């Protein structure tokens, strides 16, 4: 076994470079074809499609409710904040949704998840689209966490969810279309909090939640595998893959600069 491992260590790296090079041009041609096809492709009709949106009381989820409502979808809106859901539901109806129900629930509780799916199916008779939008975030550094267990809910709502749906897509194939959205900084309460906590982030333009919602719905209707908005964020991904040391160094420098800016701002306020 040790000999086989050594052989793989020696042979696979150059072989992978050859394979990557040989697949690059055909893949780029395929991507251009998909891009051109999408320019002329008519979006999927959403009239009377049943769409369940979690985290729909504000932010991205709220704007998604309006975007699906404009397209005539019937909506099941889920969030912890029921009072906010009432307002969102009324506006979604005014924009064109034929029917909207609201369900107060916490997606971190398994029994609540079963309940809001069952209520949606019982009311509409089916479920066509699940928008798994609800999530949490805490704009702070590791030093600000007092208990490691506090990380658990946030991690389950981020990378773990992406890995789960990538695996699910492999298992299900084309039976169900899955679009994974990776947004940059968005002009929501959470996005503004991040900017406030990390002043260096002020140099990054914020995308509006309504623009993101429109892109998400279009992307889902096309059956895209991934959507990154704003699209310029995608140019950063190859650097992380090919030059991880450089990215780590750059991020450390930005964090250090951000702390200096935050400390300077705090000192000015105290004076």
Question: What pLDDT, on a 0 to 100 scale, did the predictor assign at position 7?
Answer: 83
Nearest to 52 by CA among 79, 25, 26, 31: 79
> Cα separation of 221 and 42, whole Å?
9
* 3-class DSSP assignment, residue 132: coil
Name the token pair of 251: 């991020």
**Cα–chain-centroid distance for residue 207?**
13
Token look-up 């889920």 returns 78
Q: What does the radius of gyration of the chain's CA atoms come to, in whole angstroms?
A: 22
Query: Could you report the average pLDDT of every consecutive run of 10 residues in the chain (271 residues)?
Result: 83 83 84 78 83 95 97 96 95 97 94 96 96 78 68 72 90 88 84 68 80 94 90 84 86 74 54 53
> Cα separation of 49 and 53, whole Å?
13
Sheet containing strand 129-131, edge to edge, reads 100-104, 74-79, 50-54, 129-131
Question: What pLDDT, on a 0 to 100 scale, did the predictor assign at position 270?
Answer: 47
> Cα separation of 47 and 180, whole Å?
23
Q: Is 89 exposed, middle or buried (0-12, 13-18, 19+ CB in 10 A)?
A: buried
Question: What pLDDT, on a 0 to 100 scale, did the predictor assign at position 215?
Answer: 94
pTM beyond 0.85, yes or no = no
* Biggest distance spanned by C-alpha atoms of the chain: 69
């Amino acid at each position: 076994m040790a000999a086989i491992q050594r052989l793989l260590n020696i042979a696979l790296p150059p072989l992978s470079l050859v394979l990557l090079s040989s697949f690059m041009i055909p893949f780029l041609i395929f991507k251009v074809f998909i891009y051109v096809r999408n320019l002329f492709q008519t979006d999927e009709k959403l009239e009377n499609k049943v769409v369940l949106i979690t985290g729909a009381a504000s932010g991205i989820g709220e704007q998604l409710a309006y975007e699906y409502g404009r397209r005539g979808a019937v909506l099941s809106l889920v969030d912890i904040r029921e009072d906010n859901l009432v307002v969102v539901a009324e506006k979604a109806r005014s924009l064109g949704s034929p029917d909207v129900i609201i369900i107060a629930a916490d997606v971190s509780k398994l029994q609540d998840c079963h309940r809001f799916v069952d209520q949606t199916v019982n009311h509409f008779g089916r479920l066509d689209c699940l928008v798994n939008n609800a999530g949490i975030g805490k704009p702070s550094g590791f030093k600000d966490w007092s208990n490691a267990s506090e990380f658990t809910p946030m991690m389950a709502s981020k990378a773990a969810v992406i890995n789960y749906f990538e695996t699910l897509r492999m298992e299900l194939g084309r039976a169900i279309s899955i679009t994974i959205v990776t947004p940059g900084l968005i002009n929501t309460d959470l996005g503004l909090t991040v900017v406030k906590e990390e002043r260096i982030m002020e140099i990054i333009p914020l995308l509006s939640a309504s623009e993101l919602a429109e892109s998400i719905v279009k992307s889902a209707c096309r059956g895209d595998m991934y959507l990154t908005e704003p699209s310029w964020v995608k140019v950063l991904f190859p650097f992380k893959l090919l030059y991880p040391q450089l990215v780590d160094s750059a991020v450390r420098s930005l964090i250090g600069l951000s702390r200096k800016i935050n400390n300077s701002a705090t000192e000015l306020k105290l004076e």
